[in-house]
A and B are shown apart, each in its own frame.
Chain A
């Protein structure tokens, strides 16, 4: 079992839709949870960062972490075509090594 499992894609939604992206993890030592966004032929860019359980909101993006169920979510409200990218969940524990989900490719149709 991989340490971080991410819902497989791809995912295609109409513009304006609410998008829900999800990951699960297996290692209880993970404490920091991130979502990275990667456009084609670019490196990943940090989108959201959460420590431990809870919610964090930034504009149209909301990250949720539930450590009791080892579940990580990213919600995108009012999705835009510019949100079309690959989204990667990631986590770290005792050191800086990032463990990633495999990523999901999102396409927002105008």
Chain B
């Protein structure tokens, strides 16, 4: 079974631009979560989607948004990019997104904001 895939793998943007990252979960998985990983803060939860609905949200500004499609694929969008948004963005999928459900991570998209 194919793992979680994320595109693109690397991205360079300038301040003020916006960016869209894509995630394809493992086949059959209906929950997709997004995390931001930085050297200073580590891995932080952004949001989780299940059946096209945002079910949980972390403490990030409204510039960070996402959506999920009927085939469970998910996108996240960051508008008005800031230098501090430079990070590895990781997507994780699980069957139902319930407590204790095993989450499988993709390789991440490394975003650099100049």
Contacts and interface: CB of A to CB of B under 8 A. Distances in A.
Interface in A20-54: 31-32, 36, 41-46, 49, 51
A100 interface: yes
B33 A96 contact: yes
A49 B102 contact: yes
A80 interface: no
B107 A43 contact: yes
How extensive is the interface on chain A, given as a class?
A: 20 to 34
Given A43-B90, A43-B106, A43-B108, A96 B42 contact: no
Contacts of B8: none
B6 to A, nearest CB: 8
Given A96-B56, A96-B97, A97-B58, A44 B42 contact: no
Most-contacted residue by chain A among B41, B94, B103 (CB, 10 A):
B103
B70 interface: no
Nearest to A42: B107
Contacts of A100: 42-44
A95 interface: yes
Interface string B77-107: 0000000000000101010011111111111
A98 interface: yes
Contact of B42 (A45, A49, A51, A103): A103
- The 5 A-B residue pairs whose C-beta atoms are closest, nearest first, are A43-B105, A102-B42, A100-B43, A32-B100, A96-B97
